Amino acid sequence: MAKQYLVIVESPGKIKKLKHILGADYDVIASMGHVMDLPPKSFGIDLEQMDADYVVLKKDVAKKLRTAAKKEYRIVYLASDPDREGEGISHHVANLLKRANPKLTLQRVTFDAITPSAVLAAFKKPRDLDEQLVAAQEARRLLDRLVGFPASRFLWQFVDGKGLSAGRVQSVALRLVVERDDAIQAFVPQEYWIITGVFKVEKGEFSAKLTHWKGKKANIKTRAEANVILDALKDVDFRIGSVQPKQRIRKAPIPFTTSTLQQAASSNLKMSPDETMRHAQKLYEEGYITYMRTDSPAVSPEGVQMAKATLRSLYDERYIGKVIYKAKGNAQEAHECIRPTDTQVSPRAVKAALNEKNKRAGDLYDLIYRRFLASQMSPAIYDEVHVSVIGGEVLFTAKGSRLAFDGFLRMYNFSEEKERKSKKLSDDEAENDNTNKQLPPLTVGESAEAIKITPEQHFTKPPLHYSEALLVKALEKHGVGRPSTYSQTVATLKKRRYVTVQKRRLIPTERGKEVHQVLSTKLSGLFEVPFTAEMESALDEIAAGKRESKAYLKTFWSKVSPLFGEKVIQGVLKPRSSKKGKSTKPRKSRKTSKKVSADIPISPELGACPTCGKALVKRKSKHGAFIGCSGFPKCRFTKAIS
């Protein structure tokens, strides 16, 4: 019996699951991502009209789609991913299908999770393609090409090397990495001193930090200054100046968005952003989690009810939180957070269902599962006591802290990767921490004997190099790029060899520094963080119908094109050679490049070339010295030096 409906998704990994959910009346095929796109080797944009010259990238997939279009399906459902890029893919698939069969009935469906409830609900409410989202996605694609193609060609004039490129988001990310490295290299450590006292009271001992000297906040820069204070503390009687009980509330973490998932996976699972997204894609296609590209922490009512039901089965009512998470003002689309589709499915069950090859995906599910349930739990509560010790002209302070109620920590106690908070000292938190796990019972006015007062020398530390996750966090903070681009951006920096990864930190290479130097000085302003963030805001306005895309692109091009120069623009617009693999990038000839590596002077004892009779010479290469014919490149005789 012929199928009545056709569903077209992006990834073949979804097919089996969707067929099971939808039943025997549905055919499901995959577009394998983008079927059509701008041509990979030519500009592909009509600058006067700002029209895109799309080409078919996957001819075998396109043929399969055209064949399917000729069948007698009642409805063809376009079910690519629920974001702008997915909308653009559906738009191109629709164009291919309509050319093959103009009578087809096409409808768009989106779902954030591949579960029976989410999928069937989506098919009950199909819609037309969202032309505003399509326009925003096309504008983004054209922006990338308008910047990337000429900027890359411009770069080739100044930096030699294979595989060089520049990009709208990629080059801003490189800028952040290089500027952070510059700050580290230029950093001059500053000396400072911390004075710690150990005090004995009637019911115990505790340590405290000297925080004030002569009524002002202590800022001890040298050993001499520390000695002055130490001399003043001799024979001083100390007493407890104040005892202030306080309560500190540590809120539950927000549910995962794309960037926070990448940061947490980096800190706790040692996963790169690219690896994190691969495993998240697998979990999404298997129906275990909701869509993994989102910048919204919002949770659907169904998700909240499900989480609280699970928590009630595990803990008492005290652990159930009441917080509501909302999307940020600049969040794209109406997605919810990344969460389990069913909190009754435990991490252990998922790990058992996945094969050994996907073990890391199981670890990622465990992180997502715990984070989501924790987000719906009560805060952790700490009982704290803040104490001051006074004597002479100094004041010491100490803090005692005790966990009074574990709250969400009972479910989720993973660490998060953070920058050092102190801008001034940039030091390890432990060096400035005056927290005791527990203080002895103290009374205001009671005597405190100074058992030991110790000065410690420290030096301020430079900022940290970005980790992959912290670079993602910085890009998100500055409004550069979007969730779907983060992991790809970081991966590109590594692929181009602009950065290396050392101890999980991104270090710019000499090549990366050279590329940044050219782009930042000769294309001033184009790869500034605020300028790139403005582009993202414009794309948001296009998606919301508040700005016309072609008018924006024309204005943008009129502003940036003069930066590249007429020669570059003409080179970009000139069609590339159809010869496979040929590049328009200017390269040195093989003969010229060999002359750059100087020959070692001819030695008569080397003799004549056995191939052509010309003199043999010693040559240098990146692999070391060797013997070659002086008649190169016509004669290619070589031999090793014994």
Q: Which amino acid is at 84?
A: R
| CB-based contacts of 42, cutoff 8 Å, min separation 6 | 575, 576
Query: How is residue 440 annotated by DSSP?
Result: P
Provide the 3-class DSSP secondary structure of residue 320.
strand
Phi, psi of 370, deg, nearest 5:
-70, -40
| CB-based contacts of 570, cutoff 8 Å, min separation 6 | none
How many angstroms separate the CA atoms of 527 and 516, rounded? Answer: 9
Residues, the chain: 642
Cross-strand bridge partners of residue 436:
400
Q: Which amino acid is at 434?
A: N
Cross-strand bridge partners of residue 382:
248, 403
First CA to last CA distance, the chain = 76
Q: For the residues of 519-568, what is the DSSP string, one character each?
A: HHHHSTTTT-HHHHHHHHHHHHHHHTTSS-HHHHHHHHHHHHHHHH-HHH
Kindly state the helix (H) or strand (E) to which residue 62 belongs, with its residue range: helix 59-69
How many angstroms separate the CA atoms of 148 and 116, rounded? Answer: 42
> Maximum distance among all alpha carbons in the chain?
102
Report, as residue numbers or ranges, the catalytic residues.
291
Other C-beta atoms lying within 10 Å of the C-beta of residue 491: 17
Question: Contact, 461 vs 427, CB < 8 A?
Answer: yes
Other C-beta atoms lying within 10 Å of the C-beta of residue 624: 9
Pairing of strands 106-108, 191-201: unpaired
How many angstroms separate the CA atoms of 466 and 419, rounded? Answer: 9
Rounded to 5°, the CA angle 82-86-91 comes to 125
How many angstroms separate the CA atoms of 591 and 223, rounded? Answer: 64
Radius of gyration of the chain (CA): 32
Q: How far is CA 46 from CA 50, 203, 395, in A?
A: 5, 82, 72
483-495 helix and 258-269 helix, angle to the nearest 10 degrees = 50
Cross-strand bridge partners of residue 341:
none
